[in-house]
Amino acid sequence: MCFPNEDEVLLSHCTDIHDNHRDRSHTKPHRLPGRCLVVVAGEKLRPATTFQVRGGGQGDEPGAVGFNGRAREFGRDPHARQDRRARRLPRVAVLLVVVHHLKYPVPWLLSHESNGGGFGVDAFFVLSGFLITAILLRDQATGGRVRFLAFYRRRAMRLLPALIVFLVIYVFYEWVTSVPGAHEPSSMLSILFYYSNTWLHTVPMSPGLGHLWSLAVEEQFYLIWPLVLALFLGLRRRLAPTVIVLVAAIAFIAIRRREMWIHGTQWIWLYTRLATRADALLVGCLIAVLWVRNKLPKHGMQIAGWVALAYYAYIVRVGAGNNFMYRGGLTLIAVAIGFILIAVLETNWIVNRALRIRPLRAVGRVSYGLYIWHLAIFTAVARIDRSWPPLTQAVVCLGLTALATCGSWFLVERPFLRWKDRLEAAKPTPKDEPTSGPQRDAPATPTAPRRPDNKALHVGQVPR
């Protein structure tokens, strides 16, 4: 699952650009702080992609790098903040899943018997499709190709260490407590190699591990999607055919799932298989394809966002029956989440302020560990004593989950993230290499400061 605290989710290209556009009288170029967001404004990109300075930073807001786009001569570039906005939404999604599994009634939000907190997984799917697609398109835009090995290396170093530590501890716990079916090797292997969503159909999963099927769905999607995107739906393809293909794929999955449900297919097959859940991921991919080209709609998106948020909150509050879910409801929920994402990205929505509060920021940083640990701890506490009052059980569950999550972050995840950063910094990326022969002799910095108006800079000539 793509979680917001991983640095690869930063949809930005860290390039220091010298710019004196704020004052032509300066003899030394200014250095824009922070990151420069890659934004594609044209529908066609040739292999010799060109950069263009887009906008200018004020304070902590960087300028942005645009492709074949119009340069902005004033103010802050709102695209420089959009990557951070997209990373805020999974904070709420993981909390919905945690509360859903807690089985404790949250006033005015979830009911004890039938709640829709599990629809937080749908939000994860949409957001993961968006973030990963934007990362892949960024690589293609800056380097001319998708770096598959680097992409999968980052995914493995981000997800596997914490997952392996969790599985080792969980196997030890089950062995000590003699849980029926404990340390079942087949279940552990299905989780470790990301096919547990298909294994659920044949062998019951050990208690506390059933929620990890969603990780399998996403990783299976990541095995297919980067290649499909690079070959058929990348930046060098026209936008209209790409959008048509993605919309058709979403509709096909929704219709096929409906037909399978009508013909008696078990709900667990429809709910956990990639072939019947990829529509939510593709909704996020479609938004990313439009977003990197600066083609997302902006007018009326706040109203659409409020309507979608109200619908999603209603579904979370009352839940949804199987007939609704598998006859188009899951796709409708994914589309609603997509409108919420567009409103967050393209407007100054008041929801953006709510997502910036400090507790949610802390949850976002440790969301991966929180997701993999919470259900195992909840089921372990439930086995100890079911006679506890609901409030006591909730406090104990959340307290132990917080300890395990912090331990996972500080002892496992953060050290591996830093190691990954060092590996990325040590290896040259395509953006650091010249794109053609004559450009190899170009100076690393301009000989004289100049205003980067509408004149484009080649990839290999971006001044540092």
pLDDT for 115 equals 59
pLDDT tens sequence for the chain (464 residues): 655 444 333 333 333 333 333 333 343 333 333 333 433 434 433 233 333 323 333 333 333 333 333 322 223 333 445 556 777 788 889 998 998 888 754 444 444 445 567 889 999 999 999 999 999 998 888 888 888 998 999 999 999 999 999 999 998 888 888 776 555 788 889 999 999 998 887 777 787 898 999 999 999 999 999 999 999 998 989 999 999 999 999 999 999 999 999 999 999 899 999 999 999 999 999 999 999 999 999 899 999 999 999 999 988 887 777 888 999 999 999 999 999 999 999 988 999 888 888 888 889 889 999 999 999 998 888 888 667 777 888 888 999 999 999 999 999 999 999 998 888 787 655 444 443 333 434 444 444 444 444 333 333 333 33
Structure tokens at 199: 């294994």
SS3 264: coil
Q: Report in angstroms the alpha-carbon separations of 64 from 283, 303, 315.
A: 26, 28, 38
Q: Report in angstroms the alpha-carbon separations of 269 from 48, 188, 203, 219.
A: 45, 20, 13, 17
Q: What is the DSSP letter of 197?
A: H
Task: Identify which of 118, 65, 43 has the alpha carbon closest to the alpha carbon of residue 452.
Answer: 65
**Do 349 and 343 contact (CB within 8 A), yes or no?**
yes
pLDDT for 52 equals 33
> pTM of the prediction?
0.76
pLDDT for 89 equals 82
pLDDT for 310 equals 95
**Do 17 and 65 contact (CB within 8 A), yes or no?**
yes
pLDDT for 167 equals 94
* Neighbouring C-alpha atoms within 13 Å toward the C-beta of 57: 22
pLDDT for 4 equals 45
> What are the percentages of helix, strand and coil residues in the chain, rounded to 5?
60, 5, 30
pLDDT for 62 equals 31
pLDDT for 157 equals 93
Q: What is the DSSP letter of 36?
A: E
Structure tokens at 290: 């439009």
H or E, element range at 54? strand 50-54
SS3 110: strand
d(CA 32, CA 119): 41
